Amino acid sequence: MTRHEVRSNILKAFAYLRRKGIIARANFLCCQNCAGYDITQIAVKQINEGKEVNGCVFWHAQDEENWQRSGSMYLAFGNMDSGDIGKIGLETTEVGKMVVEALIKYNVPYEWDGGSGTRIKVMEEE
């Protein structure tokens, strides 16, 4: 499977996850800190609009650079914590399981040890 095909399938998996209440963003902002902060703000806004938010998954610009260079990258995922409303979403490992389910559904090669502190690696080929 080519890098382009894998990327296309990741985007399909993200669309699937959005239907499950996961905020999913591709090439989102510059780094983990900025993306994590902004995605939490998006979650708060969605909750205030009455939408269900079960967690998030994303990769950021630094991950995108690694993808272009090496053919692999890491997805960040989990719940969020807002100073205004507290914890948002399911437990991090549950969000990870949902992400893996979507990756399998769309035939995306991945590696993950199942831990809440480990990002999910996706790659060009198995």
What whole-number distance in Å separates Cα of residue 63 and Cα of residue 73? 6
For the chain, give every domain's residue range.
Answer: 3-123
pLDDT above 60 for 126: no
Cβ–Cβ under 8 Å, residues 31 and 59? no
How far does Cα 39 stand from its chain's mean position? Answer: 10
pLDDT band at 124 (very low <50, low <70, confident <90, very high): confident
pLDDT band at 2 (very low <50, low <70, confident <90, very high): confident
The percentage of residues in the chain with a pLDDT greater than 70, rounded to a whole number, is: 99
Give the pLDDT confidence of 7-56 residue by residue, as tens digits.
Answer: 999 999 999 999 999 999 999 999 999 999 999 999 999 999 999 999 99
Q: Which residues contact 75 (CB under 8 A, 6 or more apart)?
A: 57, 58, 59, 63, 99, 119, 120, 121, 122
pLDDT above 90 for 1: no
Reduced 3-state DSSP string for 95-111: HHHHHHHHHHHCCCCEE
Inter-CA distances, 116 with 76, 95, 96, Å: 10, 9, 8
- Check residue 125 and give its pLDDT: 73
DSSP-based three-state secondary structure for 73: strand
Q: C-alpha angle with apex 120: 7 to 117, nearest 5 degrees?
A: 155
Interval 77-87 mean pLDDT: 95
Interval 91-105 mean pLDDT: 98
Taking residue 56's Cβ as centre, other Cβ atoms within 10 Å add up to: 26
